[in-house]
């Protein structure tokens, strides 16, 4: 009897302990996570190192000063030590984020995040990001020993931090997902760089546009997808080149007539891109150039950006860095400032290839060739392993086939030809920019930059400049925007446009440079550039900068926060003119009156922006019911095309609803959309209270692993996809920076809403959100030497073992 009791109790206790020590799908191992000695309570301590430590890998003593926003100011005697310390502080504050991003780039998220990330991992592995990173590492190792030394120093810094990290001090996400950080390597840094490159060159609509060509036929297609509006307010007005260029039309690309079913699941949102501009001394209120940049990315926690200052005998640079990689990516030093926007020129092409014999052969450029097959194994937390077969061709890896998209056509698979798969040392660009002293240094730095295609803006005490930079094919006309029929392709590799023939300008007559992801060049450019260029923010910025004789720092900040909706200002007058007031109820008259008295600002407290967007979106959706009723994805014509139809062709067949027997005109659809949305919004407000634009937009910052408790609350702020302050529910200006040059060193302001810390339990996590939503900035502490300290700062010394 007693013996049985002991056996039962022991077994029960054993099961209890095991149960509390392992993770069940999304429930963390409760025993160790809840323990106040090693679990989440330990993450309530701030991580601000003080005093001294000795670390393996530091060549000389390094001093780090942490200011009142936990920005580290690193004082080192060599560049390697600078990057060593950068690795250390990145690890201290963002260890889990770096590790998680490296996993995302390697397609091993599911190992810790479970089932929901399987398709994301599959897509990344099919794109071959790991292979691209390995190729780049090989290339850098063979040609750039300096970069290798920096990458190693950085990894050593991260690993030095790891060597002293006990499990009770692991970031909370490791504890919840029950895994441990792994050693950092230069390959992981390159993986993160490739991941960012993929994200920035990720948007494309080749498949949807090809389906549109088939659906509409060539004549209608040319009318509905013309891009004349992109010719207004380009980045550079004119860039003639004496090079002879191939003007032959790539006719093989237009012959593709099959329907394409693949859907790219992980495209970044279009239109919410970045802004940058600079005014020359002639246009500046202070007589010295003023520089501004606000890159836009997904609003995540932790933030993608990490502020840092790096000082060595070779230079003194302040800016934002990306955890996982050395150098400062956007920032300024004693002589120059530089910034980035997405170039938006297409560097990713899709080839439809016919396969046979169980996918063992594919047909490209007139010949059958052998496929290279690869088995990818995914370990998935809480589930059994997933196996995927990945095909590679000479053109590039097969990303979409029937295994990935069950609705796709059998034996016709999509290969991706991406510039990011070519090896390069883009890191060198940032290394050199960090210590550039003038325009020539800046141009030399850019020469190493290949992928993605970016615009680099520049300002110094004397000059302003902007360059469209990257590895961009010298294309035939009409090439690259549609899916290519691989069988009919000529198989020739196109050369890149040389750097000096890419649009760039210095000290233009208009006394300012600017970029908002628009067409890089207006006229007299012989090469065919094709891309996903914006048409609203650039025109607003152009109008603002060209209309003021002199601009100040406040003007720059105001422009970065501008909620002026240029699209609304163009569309609304046309829409209002076409409404017959006599056909409206009193509620609808109210709706129209609100819109009529609106100043076109997408401000958070106004209801008019919601009225306008709801009305336009419904109208647009009904106009293009031909498209939305298709099963395969067809590209929607741009807003300005629909607006042109409304304005000039109101009886166009596109305004006729497919499902109704009557023939509708534009006025009918407009009225119907107005009545529909007016009723919807009123019903919603009756139930849920008064709406405003900020409320319905619902901006918030999401935790990288989608853990709700670590994401921010709703942030009430203005802006939309049409405003300079581009804003959506989860996309926006994660960094805003303004730099003022003068006789002495530059003065700068910036704001990173996500804050420095990656620890949700820290006061430095998400601590900038409120100021950011109010359009405030912090003055950036650009220290000259380590002696100018005050009481708010903590000093930490890393001693060398040597």
Q: Which residues bind another protein (CB under 8 A)?
A: 2-3, 5-6, 9-10, 12-13, 16-17, 20-21, 30-38, 40-46, 172, 176, 707-710, 760-763
Nearer to another protein, 532 or 710 (CB): 710
Residue 321 CB, nearest approach to another protein (Å): 26
Nearer to another protein, 48 or 249 (CB): 48
Radius of gyration of the chain (CA): 28
Residue 146 structure tokens? 């300096």
Nearer to another protein, 44 or 60 (CB): 44
Question: What CA–CA distance (Å, rounded) separates 338 from 627?
Answer: 42
Residue 94 CB, nearest approach to another protein (Å): 17
What does 315-334 look like in DSSP terms, one character per residue? EEEEEEE-TTS-S-SEEEES
Nearer to another protein, 176 or 325 (CB): 176
Residue 714 CB, nearest approach to another protein (Å): 15
Nearer to another protein, 33 or 97 (CB): 33
Residue 6 CB, nearest approach to another protein (Å): 5
- For residue 225, with 0-12 CB atoms within 10 Å meaning exposed, 13-18 middle and 19 or more buried, which class applies? middle
Other C-beta atoms lying within 10 Å of the C-beta of residue 772: 26
Q: Is 107 left (phi over 0), alpha (psi -120 to 50) or beta?
A: left
Nearer to another protein, 12 or 684 (CB): 12
- Please state, in angstroms and as integers, the Cα–Cα distance from residue 479 to each residue in 8, 431, 511, 676, 799, following that order: 74, 34, 34, 41, 57
Which residue in 471, 468, 373 sits closest to 422, CA to CA?
A: 471
Question: What CA–CA distance (Å, rounded) separates 98 from 120?
Answer: 18
Are 799 and 74 contacting, i.e. CB atoms less than 8 angstroms apart? no
Nearer to another protein, 39 or 295 (CB): 39
Residue 143 CB, nearest approach to another protein (Å): 46
Nearer to another protein, 30 or 696 (CB): 30
Which residue in 266, 130, 251 sits closest to 185, CA to CA?
A: 130
Residue 50 CB, nearest approach to another protein (Å): 17
Instruction: State the helix-helix crossing angle for 129-143 and 145-163, rounded to 10 degrees.
Output: 120
3-state helix, strand, coil in the chain (%, to 5): 35, 20, 45
Are 499 and 446 contacting, i.e. CB atoms less than 8 angstroms apart? yes
Nearer to another protein, 287 or 382 (CB): 382
Nearer to another protein, 571 or 769 (CB): 769
Question: What CA–CA distance (Å, rounded) separates 294 from 340?
Answer: 8
Residue 703 CB, nearest approach to another protein (Å): 10
Residue 431 structure tokens? 């290394």
> What is the DSSP code (8-state) at residue 270?
T
Nearer to another protein, 37 or 791 (CB): 37
Residue 171 CB, nearest approach to another protein (Å): 11
Question: What CA–CA distance (Å, rounded) separates 168 from 47?
Answer: 13
Residue 422 CB, nearest approach to another protein (Å): 43
Nearer to another protein, 176 or 670 (CB): 176
Question: What CA–CA distance (Å, rounded) separates 112 from 104?
Answer: 11
CB environment 515-554: b (16+ within 10 A), e (fewer): bbbbbbbbeebbbbbbbbbbbbbbbbbbebbeeeeebebe
What does 368-401 look like in DSSP terms, one character per residue? EEEPEEEEEEE--TTS--EEEEEEE-SS-BEEES
Residue 764 CB, nearest approach to another protein (Å): 11
Residue 21 CB, nearest approach to another protein (Å): 6
Residue 34 CB, nearest approach to another protein (Å): 4
């Amino acid at each position: 009897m007693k013996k049985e009791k002991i056996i039962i109790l022991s077994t029960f206790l054993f099961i209890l302990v095991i149960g509390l020590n392992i993770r069940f799908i999304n429930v963390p191992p409760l025993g160790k996570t809840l323990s106040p000695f090693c679990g989440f309570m330990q993450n309530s301590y701030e991580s601000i190192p003080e005093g001294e430590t000795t670390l393996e890998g530091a060549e000389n003593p390094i001093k780090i000063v942490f200011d009142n926003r936990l920005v580290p100011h690193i004082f080192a005697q060599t560049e390697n030590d600078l990057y060593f310390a950068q690795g250390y502080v990145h690890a201290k504050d963002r260890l889990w984020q770096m590790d998680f991003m490296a996993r995302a780039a390697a397609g091993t998220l599911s190992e810790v995040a479970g089932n929901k990330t399987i398709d994301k991992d599959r897509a990344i592995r099919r794109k071959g990001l790991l292979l691209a990173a390995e190729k780049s590492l090989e290339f850098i190792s063979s040609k750039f020993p300096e970069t290798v030394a920096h990458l190693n120093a950085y990894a050593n810094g991260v690993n030095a931090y790891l060597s002293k990290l006990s499990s009770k001090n692991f970031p909370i996400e490791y504890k919840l997902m029950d895994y441990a950080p792994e050693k950092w390597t230069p390959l992981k840094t390159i993986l993160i760089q490739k991941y960012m490159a993929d994200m920035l060159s990720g948007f494309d609509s080749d498949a949807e546009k090809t389906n549109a060509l088939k659906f509409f036929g060539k004549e209608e297609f040319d009318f509905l997808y013309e891009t004349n509006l992109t010719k207004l307010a380009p980045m550079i007005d004119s860039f003639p080149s004496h090079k002879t260029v191939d003007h032959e039309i790539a006719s093989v690309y237009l012959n593709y007539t099959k329907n394409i079913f693949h859907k790219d699941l992980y495209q970044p949102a279009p239109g919410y891109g970045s802004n940058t501009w600079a005014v020359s001394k002639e246009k500046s209120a202070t007589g010295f150039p003023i520089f501004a940049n606000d890159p836009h990315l997904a609003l995540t926690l932790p933030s993608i950006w990490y502020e840092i200052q790096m000082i060595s005998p070779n230079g003194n640079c302040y800016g934002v860095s990306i955890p996982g990689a050395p150098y400062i990516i956007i920032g300024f030093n004693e002589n120059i400032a530089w910034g980035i926007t997405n170039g938006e020129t297409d560097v990713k092409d899709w080839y439809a290839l016919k396969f046979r014999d169980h996918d063992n052969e594919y047909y490209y450029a007139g010949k059958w060739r052998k496929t290279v097959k690869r088995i990818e194994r995914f370990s998935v937390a809480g589930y059994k392993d997933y196996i995927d077969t990945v095909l590679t061709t000479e053109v590039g890896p097969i990303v979409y086939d029937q295994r990935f998209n069950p609705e796709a056509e059998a034996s016709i698979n999509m290969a991706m030809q991406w510039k990011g798969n070519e090896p390069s040392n883009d890191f060198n660009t940032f290394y050199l920019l960090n210590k550039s002293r003038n325009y020539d240094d800046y141009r030399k730095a850019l020469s190493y930059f290949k992928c993605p295609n970016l615009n680099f803006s520049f300002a110094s005490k004397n000059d302003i400049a902007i360059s469209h930079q990257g590895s961009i094919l010298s294309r035939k006309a009409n090439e690259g925007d549609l899916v290519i029929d691989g069988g009919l392709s000529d198989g020739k590799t196109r050369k890149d446009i040389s750097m000096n023939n890419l649009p760039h300008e210095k000290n233009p007559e208009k006394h300012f440079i600017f970029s908002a992801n628009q067409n890089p060049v207006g006229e007299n450019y012989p090469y065919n550039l094709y891309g996903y260029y914006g048409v609203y923010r650039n025109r607003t910025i152009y109008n603002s900068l060209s209309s003021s004789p002199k601009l100040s720092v406040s003007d720059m900040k105001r422009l970065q926060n501008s909620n002026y909706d240029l699209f609304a200002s163009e569309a609304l007058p046309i829409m209002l003119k076409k409404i017959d007031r006599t056909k409206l109820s009193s509620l609808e008259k109210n709706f129209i009156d609100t819109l009529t008295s609106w100043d076109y600002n997408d401000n958070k407290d106004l209801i008019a922006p919601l009225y306008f967007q709801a009305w336009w979106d419904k109208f647009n959706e009904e106009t293009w019911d031909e498209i939305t009723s298709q099963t395969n994805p067809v590209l929607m014509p741009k807003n300005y095309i629909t607006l042109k139809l409304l304005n000039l062709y109101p009886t166009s067949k596109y305004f006729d609803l497919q499902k109704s027997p009557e023939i509708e005109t534009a006025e009918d659809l407009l009225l119907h959309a107005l009545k529909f949305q007016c009723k919807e919004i009123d019903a919603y407000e009756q139930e849920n209270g008064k709406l405003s634009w900020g409320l319905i937009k619902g901006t918030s910052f999401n935790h990288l692993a989608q853990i709700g408790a670590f994401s921010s609350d709703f942030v009430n702020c203005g802006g939309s996809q049409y405003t300079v302050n581009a804003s959506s529910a989860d996309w926006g200006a994660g960094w805003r920076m303004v730099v003022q040059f003068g006789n002495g060193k530059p003065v700068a302001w910036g704001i990173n809403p996500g804050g420095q810390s990656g620890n949700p339990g820290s006061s430095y996590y998400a601590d900038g959100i409120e100021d950011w939503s109010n359009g405030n900035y912090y003055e950036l502490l650009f220290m000259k030497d380590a002696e100018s300290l005050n009481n708010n700062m903590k000093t930490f010394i890393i001693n060398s073992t040597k």
